[in-house]
Amino acid sequence: MLEPEVKETKAGAAARITLNRPKALNALTREMVQRMSRILSEWEADPGVKLIVADAAGDRAFCAGGDVARLYAEGTAGNNAYCTDFWAENYALNAQIAGLSTPYVALMDGIVMGGGVGISAHGAHRVVTERTVLAMPECGIGLVPDVGASHLLARAPEGLARLIALTGLRLGPADCIALGLADSFVPSDQLPALTSALMEAADASPIAAFSEPPGPGTLPDPQAAAETFAGQLPEAIAERLEQNRQDWAQNAAAALRRVSPISLQLTLKLLDAARQDSSLLRCLARDLNAASYCLAAGDFLEGVRAAIIEKDRNPNWKPITFASPEVSL
């Protein structure tokens, strides 16, 4: 008998939801999103549930994102509605997690990317470990950092927010905490004990007893990032990065040259819009508009083909210039 892709456990006044696709790095399917939403609704309505703990099977990933291979299959078959419905349901889950009246603890151990950020970083309590690698690499597959990423990054220094969103920079635990994407660091070998303590206490207080300093971060100076990533033209940003001989800037420049020009322009628009209006619901609505544009323009399907399906790492982006797409967010 196949195990469920989302497991649910209740013990006393605590409940635990566990992503259970470890071989797929716990990537979210549409069915998983729907099931999580139903479970969380039931637990929030249950006065006997005082705490919700979210974790994942395996030690490699909390969640590496959405099941883009399935989205590619549906999109190439002409079923764009499946893709947009998946995104809409996923974003609704993100908003649901952010608005839960029941405390929600996300144990963000291992890879946390794309959709994984959406079901963790919007929670009330976010715990990272030394194995945490958080990133928003969607521009590399012709999409945009969605799941309310612009809402989350609106609190971060603008230059660093642009660096992270445009290049897919991978963040360790200290950087996640510094940017407000996580709250506490707990060594991974302490997670079983922490989980037991949380389930027994049915509140988030045990996190403090298990928390330790996360160590040094690796982010560049915020002012240097602000100067380099200023303006609305990705081409100009890339040129400034190339003139900066520091490793972080060279790596960022190379990343910008690889990813979708449409995605870069849309991501800048999303980040700028969130600086003016950081309402999560409105950020998520803009995400859906941007993702739908990427799908219709073809860059999302082409990016997934090159990175996930055929793995030739040679996407044929459209357009091939840094022209700004005309899309209302």
Catalytic residue IDs: 66, 115, 138, 146
Pairing of strands 6-11, 125-128: unpaired
User: Is residue 173 reached through a cis peptide bond, with omega within 30 degrees of 0 on the bond before it?
Assistant: no
What is the distance of C-alpha 85 from the center of its chain? Answer: 18
CA of 318: how far to CAs of 223, 238, 261, 301, in Å?
33, 18, 8, 11
> What whole-number distance in Å separates Cα of residue 243 and Cα of residue 220?
16
Distance CA 77, CA 171 (A): 35
Query: What is the pairing mode between strands 104-108 and 61-63?
Result: unpaired
Give the closest residue to 87 by CA, choosing from 300, 232, 307: 300
What distance in Å separates the CA atoms of residue 118 and residue 113, rounded to the nearest whole number? Answer: 9
Query: Using CA atoms, how far apart are residues 200 and 261, in angstroms rounded to an integer?
Result: 50
> By C-alpha distance, which of 24, 90, 105 is closest to 61?
24
Residue for token pair 């497991």: 7
Our separate counts of H helices and E strands in the chain read 15, 9
Alpha carbon distances (Å) from 112 to 26, 58, 65, 259, 280: 10, 13, 7, 20, 20
Query: Which has the closest alpha carbon to 159: 258, 248, 263?
Result: 248
